[in-house]
Each structure stands twice: as structure tokens, then as C-alpha cells.
Amino acid sequence: MHDFPRINPVRLLDDLKTLRSFGANGPGVVRLSLSPVDMEARRWLAGRMTDAGLDAAIDGAGTVFGRSRKSGPALVIGSHTDTQPTGGWLDGALGVIYGLEIARALHECAATRDFAVDVASWIDEEGTFSSFLGSRSFVGDAIDASLQHARNREGVLLGDALTQAGLANAPRVVLDRARQRAYLEPHIEQGGRLEASGKSIGVVTTIVGIREFQLRFTGQRNHAGTTPMSIRRDAGAALVAFIARIDAAFGRLADADTVWTVGRIDLDPGSFSVVPGKAEMYLQFRDGNPERLHAMESALAVLVDEWNSQHAVPVELMPCDGPEEPVVMDTAWQQHIAQAAEAVAPGQWIRMPSGASHDAQVIGHHIPACMLFVPSIGGVSHDFIEDTAEAHIVLGCEVAARAAAGIVEALRLSA
């Protein structure tokens, strides 16, 4: 292709900043799924998609979907516009507005005018009610249990929230495998690797898998002043000692991308003057290599068995949610992003895994999917101060537009 689509940086940034105004809180945004301000933003977004020549609607789950009127195989570009309770302005929003701008740019370029690009803002990626609700619904996963049982922090049922939003009887958008043949999700990195390496674009190789466990230590409550150290059965002290063992065991198995986190610790009764009788911790670990995840699970089980054979404070290991397996991004589409990055920003890109979860991991099980990252300032995300330099926002969209054109061209040639 000799003539490449040209994005309009002013239009791109204006739309991103307008979307930021819905639920603005200082530099950040509070726009929880299906809240009144979220629905306001979704209606605005559907209007912008319509203005761009897409057939746009908010579906029965809350996803905003803009369908191209062009014939031939389609590339879906999307992400999410809902936020965390202390959300940043670009997490998810960047990919959705990229999709909108790319659809416009391809239409304005003679060489790509007939290329079909659909644009999506999937509902509830952040899990206010039920994580990845929109993308799961799109690929045909059953979401009826979520509709009946999922609640937000205020206790509102998902089904009631959809009724309140006027979406109860709206049809749900469903993947058309014959037409929608590829998925691209641009996103902020949400980490510090690009910034630290001085690079501008990340070509995502894999979305990591996740394991989550609860570990419960059972000791004996006792008086903190009168119980000698030699006869204590201190569940809190046992938990802390066990974390050191996890660090050592996982450290032997890890590579540079492996991460593990004790995200929560509860001590019972949690008093200065009482030796804890029970202690619980919540452990999560992530890696892009399924064999390594399995090895870490096995190592954890061995640690528990060894501990229980040696200590008077036993530990019980319980899985929390079902395991999330790593999802490899399509290698051919990765190459299109890499080629576009090299053309637009020579030497300014790297291949890297995604340590965070994204809708691409749901959709990637059904159609070939790929992701592109732009740098996050200070590596900060899921916080009001999350930000990306405007130059990186524009550059990322230029790369994504060129990659999108290449992917659709490849789809059309193979159709």
C-alpha cells in the first residue's frame, strides 16, 4: 500500500479530552459501568460513531458498538470507557477513541476508503459488576448468571442497572465470524517498561495468565503479655514467615516478567494485646508462560506440605477464582504492528508481554487478536494521576492506523 491513512491529531485529542469530561475528578475520571455519567458518555460516544459514518448503538449489555457500512472482512478495534473508582483518563478510553479516529482516517484516505473497521467500547472491563462483561457477551459466553447475580459495591444488581439505563430490551451485539476477522486493542502500558527503555510503542506478545489463592493459618489466640514466645501459636508470625518462603521459591522460578503479590492480609482479632489466632492472606501471581505458572502452583503446594509437617500453626491453601491462562497475541498481526512502528518510529518499539488483563484476552480465543501499547508516565495507572504525553498519544494512533490498514488489506487479500 503506497497511500497510508493520516490521522487528525487535533480531532483525536479533542475527542479524548471531551470523553475525559464525563466524570472528571481532578486530572482523573470516575465513570463506573452503567452509572448515569457512564451512560451519558456512552450516548455521546454513539453519537460520535454515527458522525463518523458507523451504524452505532448501545447494546443490551451496555457495549457501544459502531459497525462499518463497508463490505468485506472487518477489523474490530476496541477497548473500554468505564473506569476504576479512582480511574485515569486514558485507561481503555485511549483504545476506543483510537478506533474512532482510525475509522475516520481510513475513510478519508483513497487507498483505504473501502476498508471495514468496526469500533467498540466494551462494557464493564473493570468489573464494577462482572469483569469483561461486554467482550464475553460479544463472543457468545453465557452472561445470564451475571445478569441475575452480579452486584456493584452498592448492592445494585446488574440486571436492575441495565433496566435503569433503559437497556433491558436492547439486542446484544454478537461476533459475526464470517465478517469480523481480527481484533486490535490499543492501550496505555499501565507500567513503566516503555518509559524506562526510552521506547514509544510496545508490540504485545502475550497477555499473562493469573492464579489467585487464599492461605489461612490457624493458631491460638492468647494474651500478648503473658504468653511466652516459646509456647505461642501465633498465626500472624507464621503468615509473615511463610511469605518469605514464597518469595524464595518463586524467585528461583521467575524470569524478569514474573510477578507475585500478597494483596491483602487479615489478622484475627487484630488487636495490639492479642496473639493472632487466625491469619489470612490473598496471593496472586502472573506470568505469560503456562509451564511456569504450573511450576509456581506446584511449588506453592510443596511449601504448604513442608510447612504443615514442621509447624504447630497449620496453613490451608484454597484457590480463589478459576485460573486465567495466558493468551498469545496473533503473530501475523503482531508483525503488522511492528512493521507500522518501524515505518513511523524506527527503532522506537519493543515486543513485550501485557502484565494486565484486557478484553483482547477474551476475544483472542475466538478471532486473531493483537495489542499495541503507548507509554504511561511514571508507570502509573488505575489512579487519578495516570497520564501519557500527547506526542506519544498521537504517535501511537499513527502506528495503530497504519497497522489497521495493513491488517484489513491482508484480510481482504485472503478473503
Q: What is the pLDDT of residue 56?
A: 98
Q: What is the pLDDT of residue 2?
A: 59
Q: DSSP assignment of 111-169, as one string?
A: GGTT-EEEEEE-TTTT-SSSTTHHHHHHTT---HHHHHH-B-TT--BHHHHHHHTT-TT
Examine the domain organization and report whether 194 and 260 are in the same domain.
Answer: no
Examine the domain organization and report whether 215 and 194 are in the same domain.
Answer: no
- Whether residue 105 contacts residue 7, with contact meaning beta carbons closer than 8 Å, is answered with yes
Please give the angle made by the CA atoms of 301, 303 and 308, to the nearest 5 degrees: 100
The verdict on residue 1 lying in a domain is no
Output the CA torsion sign for 76, 81, 85, 88. positive
CATH number at residue 239: 3.30.70.360
Examine the domain organization and report whether 281 and 358 are in the same domain.
Answer: no
Annotated binding residue 51: no
Distance between CA atoms of 59 and 172, rounded to whole angstroms? 5
Per-residue pLDDT, averaged over 317-344, amounts to 96
Examine the domain organization and report whether 21 and 162 are in the same domain.
Answer: yes
Examine the domain organization and report whether 72 and 120 are in the same domain.
Answer: yes
Residue 327 vs residues 77, 287, 324: alpha-carbon distances, Å: 18, 11, 9
> Rounded to two decimals, what is the model's pTM?
0.94
Examine the domain organization and report whether 182 and 38 are in the same domain.
Answer: yes
CATH number at residue 170: 3.40.630.10
Q: Is the pLDDT of residue 1 over 60?
A: no
Examine the domain organization and report whether 237 and 280 are in the same domain.
Answer: yes
The verdict on residue 3 lying in a domain is no
Q: pLDDT for 290-327, tens place per residue?
A: 999 999 999 999 999 999 999 999 999 999 988 999 99
C-alpha cell at 335: 508483525
Domains held by the chain: number: 2
Q: Where are the alpha helices (DSSP H) in 169-324?
A: 193-197, 235-253, 290-310
Per-residue pLDDT, averaged over 2-24, amounts to 95
C-alpha cell at 176: 459475526
State the DSSP H helix or E strand holding residue 90, giving kind and residue range, or none if neither.
none
Examine the domain organization and report whether 197 and 139 are in the same domain.
Answer: yes
Examine the domain organization and report whether 193 and 63 are in the same domain.
Answer: yes
- Residue 3 binned pLDDT confidence (cut-offs 50, 70, 90): confident
The verdict on residue 4 lying in a domain is no
Q: What is the pLDDT of residue 328?
A: 97
Q: What is the pLDDT of residue 406?
A: 98
Please choose, from the candidates 400, 403, 398, 393, the residue with its C-alpha nearest in 3D space to the C-alpha of residue 13.
393
Annotated binding residue 187: yes
Per-residue pLDDT, averaged over 345-357, amounts to 97
Q: pLDDT for 89-148, tens place per residue?
A: 999 999 999 999 999 999 999 999 999 999 999 999 999 999 999 999 999 999 989 989
Q: Is the pLDDT of residue 415 over 80?
A: no
Q: pLDDT for 33-85, tens place per residue?
A: 999 999 999 999 999 999 999 999 999 999 999 999 999 999 999 999 999 99
- Residue 223 binned pLDDT confidence (cut-offs 50, 70, 90): very high
Q: pLDDT for 163-221, tens place per residue?
A: 999 999 999 999 999 999 999 999 999 999 999 999 999 999 999 999 999 999 999 99
Annotated binding residue 382: yes
Q: Is the pLDDT of residue 414 over 90?
A: yes
Output the CA torsion sign for 91, 354, 194, 262. positive
Q: Is the pLDDT of residue 25 over 60?
A: yes
Examine the domain organization and report whether 165 and 185 are in the same domain.
Answer: yes
The verdict on residue 79 lying in a domain is yes
Annotated binding residue 91: yes
Please choose, from the candidates 312, 408, 338, 392, the residue with its C-alpha nearest in 3D space to the C-alpha of residue 103.
408
| Domain region containing 291 | 209-319
Examine the domain organization and report whether 303 and 359 are in the same domain.
Answer: no
